[in-house]
Structure 1
Amino acid sequence: MTSLGSLTEFVASQDELVREAALTLPHEFSRCTYSLGPIRQAVYLCLTCQLPRGLCSSCSIACHTDHEQIELFPKRNFRCDCPTTAIPHGCTLHRSLEEENRENSYGQNFRGIFCRCGRPYDPKCERETMIQCLACEDWFHESCLHLRTRPSSREPSPVPETETPDHGNDTEDNQSEASSSGLPPPLVSAEDYDAFVCSSCVRSINTLRRYAGTQGVIMVVRDTEDSPWRKLGCNPLCADPPTNTEDDLLDIDDSLTAPGQKRSRSHSFHSEEPERKRQHISPEPSSPCLAPAPNPIAQAIFQSSQQPSDTEVPLTEGDVFLTEGWRERWCRCSRCFPSLSDHPYLLEEEETYEPPEDPDSALSLEELGMRALERLPRDRAIDGIRAFNDMRDDLLAYLRPFAQEGRIVGEADVRQFFETLHESKHGS
């Protein structure tokens, strides 16, 4: 029999549960984001619904509570699919039925698979941190980025009590070592970089490919198939970069256009926009190129990847890890700027929508009860207060013998009280 000890302890435990719930879900989930149009927002994949479509935070809780879901984390230019004809399960927040979203992009994450290895994510056995690409927003295993050896997934890694295993990252930083607990540190740790861009996206962005392997744009490479993986471009602090001539730039092949975070520290729609947010987002005409000299190793690897051979072993995937302050270090000459401006997230931090704060999230059970009574019509509120007072008097009378005899109130005793109360109501 489970002992409640005392009613005071029981009430205190319930208040603690309310506080924990407020910390876990501090937002108000009463509005579907469909009316906001395509925005960057947290997206949830509903596996129960027939089509692989995405839900906003509110609909994942209000409309699909009993469905199996996967959190995909922020996706840019995404509109909630819940109130559309693509999902047969009707939206409870956006009442009018909308046409299917034609502008949403549904990559492999919407089939429940991730990374270049195409594996599904299983939180019960996955031991590695997964890192989100800033550009395509897919998720990648550290071992697939050659940051560590792929660990055995037969058993989950031990996680300290203060840490929670996660598909991706916290709202600020992706702590590689935290969610890969029990494993040796990765070759590039969370403290070493601010954002990650996968190889496919690097190859599709000319200026980013040009910077690869230079100081502050880390690459992981190896010299031969048997060589250990090592880092290029580790030190972001360097002297003034050399000025490059047009002849230097012509040596870089701009024809590499293969198709294509640690989560970036994104601004919320509800956060105050910094004064410098709109600085330096336009080109600087007639200025010399201030980009660092291309890393010859990185450029040779990109050149050779144009004509891959079945017998060749890749010396790098071409992923890059951008260190702190990377947006301020871009060259904005007429040659470098165009491919950056085609991807605005490379020039300024993105706003990520978050639901408004729930004003009731930090209230106690008593305060929540009083708030509910205040919202009822007067006659119904009075009836509710009378019913509560009657139940209180009955409960005190039921518990008085326990107090007089010094007996502990057990779970079965509490259950018996409410069963008796239920029977008396139906009997009358």
Structure 2
Amino acid sequence: MQLKARARNFVMSITGKSDSANESHQNEEPETKNRAMTAVDYLLQEAELEQKAAQALPGKFDKCTFTKGYIHQPVYACLTCSNDIKNKELAQHSNSIPVGKDGMILAGICYSCSISCHSSHDVIELFSKKNFRCDCGIKILRPESSEGSGMGKCELMDRAKENQSMDTANENNKYNHNFWGYYCRCDTFYDPETEESEMIQCFFCQDWYHDRCIGKMPREESFDSYICRECINRHSILFKHLSKDAVFYGIVDQNTNKVDVIVDATMSINSDVNDPSGTEQNVPMVEHGAQINPPNSKRKLDEMPDESDKDSKKTKAGSAIPNESTHLLPEKLDFSRVDIFMKKAWEECVCKCQGCMEYIKQHNLDYILKDDPVYEPEVDPEKDIPLYDVAMECLDTYDRSMASMGAIALRELGDDLKSFLRPFAAEGKVVTPGDIMSFFDERRRSKTADQ
């Protein structure tokens, strides 16, 4: 239905009821206005743009995900609405914030709101985030709470009707420097047009790291998930009792701050990590710059091995005693000096003693123990239909008088456009996009004067 809504705007614009087309023309660059283009070229260009849009945005964007609660979903940040010059202390950053941003409010929006509510704004894609609820329209993005350009409300839903408070933040959302557009421990702004390195996402914090900043890694077919040293240190209790069968761990060189040695825990659990000779050659590795695309989907529960097939050393859920015999890391190894690369189905090897289970619940890490697919919006069946065709079909949805007005307006538009182009044909002049925009601007002024 969203394309039909756009089609209605198109019909309204040609009947003089909308200024959206005028605003679009005013935002065109001078080079675009003056570039020569044939009618065929223009139609081909429009068709190509619509095709690219359908590929990039295949899902419907007519529903905000706020009512779904805290879910694993694609998240976007609106740098326009997040700009808040009042709250400089709220979001001070070690690197320079994007040009023109003196202070930033940390907030994220869902896929639908990034299009329906923020289409004309400076929006960046943050990819998937776990346990995240859409911030669009809540108090931190409302104009009365900042001097930014907040939308003031979510265009897709009325939270008052949903008995939700717009005066409170989504307290369970976790924010980091990604919401400024910065990634990795090198803390640099991500530009998809210039970035050459491959990036890999940490399973826990969901930050993305450059392969060049990580250092050495197992080959992509050897591991399923990456966990950064910061998260290992933060959640060390979970890794002290994780089965050694689940991982490779990377020893971080103190001088370069990068992984220098990859060790398979099953082969080196009792070895001296400061003398890893003979272990590195047994683990397939890649240097930074190679293609790194580890799968991020979990195995489904029905694909997991039976309880009877599991390592008898693993503890049962709720046991008061953790499995001391399966320590992953030698005690003398500093957690802050280790990156971990998890093998497939590693979640099944997580210690399920009472202490670990309480820790998981307290820190909202339940997604470790269950299948947690990324929410995807329903595919839009109209995404491949040309907008012009939708506009024509849209006329059938109006009552007779409105449809007649639209048909008459289209006929008048065609007649006026032919009259406008006739002198160009007679003189052999090339028609530019700027000429066409001038034509529509004049029509709009004439309609305004007649009203």
- In the superposition, the TM-score normalised over structure 1's length comes to 0.64
Name the SS for the 1:59 alignment partner: helix
Tell whether the 8 Å contact from 1:15 to 1:365 is kept in structure 2 after alignment: no
Greater mean deviation of Cα atoms: 91-100 or 62-71? 62-71
Higher helix share: 2
Offset, 1:143: 3.9
How many Å separate the matches in 2 of 1:220 and 1:189? 13
1:142 matched to 2:161? The reply is no
8 A Cα contact 2:251 2:339, kept in partner: no
Q: Does residue 1:230 correspond to 2:261, yes or no?
A: yes
Counterpart position of 1:257? none
User: Deviation digits for residues 290-348 of structure 1, max 9, x if unmatched?
Assistant: 79x9899x722x53427xxxxxxxxx72211124x334874889799969986554455
1:326 and 2:394 correspond: no
The CA deviation at 1:387 is: 0.8
Measure the CA separation in 1 of the matches of 2:186 and 2:50. 39
Identify unmatched segments of 5+ residues in structure 2. 1-33, 85-104, 143-151, 268-291, 316-323
Equivalence for 1:86: 140
Distance 1:331 1:228 in 2: 24
User: Which amino acid in 2 is paired with 1:15?
Assistant: A
Q: What corresponds to 2:200 in structure 1?
A: 131
Q: Does structure 1 conserve the Cα–Cα contact (< 8 Å) formed by 2:198 and 2:210?
A: yes
> Contact between 1:83 and 1:90, CA under 8 Å: does it hold in 2?
yes
Write the deviation string for residues 48-104 of structure 1: whole angstroms up to 9, x where unpaired: 334422222222222234444443322222222224333312222222353224542
Q: Which residue of 1 aligns with 2:73?
A: 41
Gap change, CA 1:424 and 1:334, over 3 Å in 2 = closer
* Cross-structure match for 1:31: 63
Distance 1:26 1:403, change over 3 A: same
Structure 1's unaligned 5+ residue stretches are 148-186, 239-260, 268-273, 307-315
In structure 2, C-alpha distance between the alignment counterparts of 1:138 and 1:400, rounded to whole Å: 58
Among all aligned residue pairs of Structure 1 and Structure 2, give the percentage whose two residues are the same amino acid: 26
Structure 1 residues 331, 413: CA separation in 2 closer, same or farther (over 3 Å shift)?
Answer: closer
Aligned match for 1:2, one of 31, 35, 41: 35
Aligned twin of 1:64? 118
Report the TM-score, using the length of structure 2 for normalisation: 0.61
Quick one: structure 1 residues 281 and 373, their matched pair in 2 at CA, closer, same or farther if it must change by over 3 Å?
A: farther
| CA deviation vs aligned residue, 1:140-191 (integer Å, no higher than 9, x gap) | 33344234xxxxxxxxxxxxxxxxxxxxxxxxxxxxxxxxxxxxxxx44545
SS at match of 2:52: helix
RMSD: 4.4
Which residue number corresponds to residue 303 of structure 1? 332
Structure 1 residue 388: Cα displacement: 0.4
Contact 2:62 2:112 in 1 (8 A): yes
Who is 2:29 aligned against? Answer: none
- Equivalences for 1:141-220 in 2 at 5 Å? 141-147=210-216, 187-188=217-218, 190-203=220-233, 204=235, 208-209=239-240, 217-220=247-250
Structure 1 position 288 matched with structure 2 position 318: no
Contact 1:46-1:52 within 8 A present in 2 as well: no
User: Is it true that 1:19 corresponds to 2:51 in the alignment?
Assistant: yes
Q: Does the Cα contact within 8 Å between 1:196 and 1:262 map onto a contact in 2?
A: no
Deviation at 1:401, TM superposition (A): 5.6
C-alpha distance in 1, partners of 2:433/2:350?
69
Matched residue SS, 1:393? helix
Q: Please state how far the C-alpha of 1:109 moved relative to its aligned partner.
A: 3.3
Tell me the residue number matched to 1:170.
Answer: none
Counterpart amino acid of residue 345 in structure 2: W
Once residues 78 and 384 of structure 1 are traced to their aligned partners in structure 2, the CA distance between those partners, rounded to angstroms, is 44
| Count of aligned residue pairs for this structure pair | 344
Moved more, 411-420 or 72-81: 411-420
Deviation by residue 1:215-251 (Cα, 9 ceiling, x = unmatched): 66222226886999122129x9x9xxxxxxxxxxxxx
Alpha carbons of structure 1 residues 404 and 326: separation in structure 2 relative to 1, 3 Å: same
How big is the shift at 1:210?
5.1
Is the 8 Å Cα contact of residues 128 and 142 (structure 1) preserved in structure 2? yes
Q: 1:139 to 1:209 in 2, by over 3 A?
A: farther
Displacement of 1:139 in angstroms is 2.8
